Amino acid sequence: MDHKTLYSYIEPVIALTDDELALLMSCAKMMQLKKGEQLLKEGEVCSAFYLVETGYLRTYYDRDSVAINMNFTFEGDFTANLKSYRDRKPSETIIEAGEDSIIWIFNLREIAEQYDAYPQVSRFIRRLAITQLLTAQEHSALIKLHTPAERYRHIEKNSPQLLQRVSLSQLASYLGVTRETLSRVRAKNN
């Protein structure tokens, strides 16, 4: 993939000049992952943002070997562990491929000293962060305001691709219920 194609993922977030794009590219590398391979392990410090080109990434807590999913990131979207990134603290979550995936890793820590000279790059990162975190806020509201059946219908309506690509068991922990409950919710909804 060349700069031009990569820019097609960045441009919807912010317009960049060639110089700015070059700076970003200087810290980017591509990686192929098999389903289940981990991009960020528990205890590692996150120093990059990840862009999904194909496949998807799953962010989850490992509670006694049971995955509690917090986020799914699909083609064209960015993710990271912002808390670990900002505070340079070990990550409590794992980010791994939910399918065989092609991922772009932007090691932003490498270029952090150059932000001042490239304010648009700084703004780009800020927008990624805000978008990611608004998503978390909405997810929190979804769980606090709605019943399991309502949560499922919300996903059906607003993120139907989740239902296509994520297994019911994975979706269950994302919605804060067991897989049995979600299976029954789905049975009644038809």
Q: Is 181 in the site for DNA (CB under 7 A)?
A: yes
Q: Which does 184 bind (CB under 5 to 8 A by kind): DNA, a second copy, none?
A: DNA
| Residues written for the chain | 190
Exposed e or buried b for every residue in 65-103, given b needs 16+ CB within 10 A?
eebebbbbbbeebbbbbeebbeeeeebebbbbbbbebbb
Cβ-based nearer residue to DNA, 68 or 134:
68
Cβ-based nearer residue to DNA, 131 or 167:
167
| Alpha carbon 22 to chain centroid, angstroms | 24
Least Å distance between CB 172 and a second copy? Answer: 11
Q: Which does 130 bind (CB under 5 to 8 A by kind): DNA, a second copy, none?
A: a second copy
Question: Which residue from 75, 149, 153, 154 is in contact with DNA, where contact means CB under 7 A?
Answer: 149
Cβ-contact 16, 120 below 8 angstroms: yes
CA-CA distance, 133 to 183, in Å (whole number)? 29
Question: Which residue from 135, 148, 153, 159 is in contact with DNA, where contact means CB under 7 A?
Answer: 148
Short-list 136, 139, 59, CA closest to 93: 59
Residues forming a β-bridge with 71 = 59
Q: Is 17 in the site for DNA (CB under 7 A)?
A: no
How would you class 59 by CB atoms within 10 Å of its CB: exposed for 0-12, middle for 13-18, buried for 19 or more?
buried
The binding site for a second copy (CB under 8 A) comprises 61, 63, 68, 70, 82-83, 86, 116, 119, 122-123, 126, 129-130, 133-134, 136-141, 143-145, 173, 176
Cβ-contact 156, 168 below 8 angstroms: no
Question: Which residue from 17, 26, 183, 189 is in contact with DNA, where contact means CB under 7 A?
Answer: 183
Cβ-based nearer residue to DNA, 156 or 180:
180
Q: Which does 178 bind (CB under 5 to 8 A by kind): DNA, a second copy, none?
A: DNA
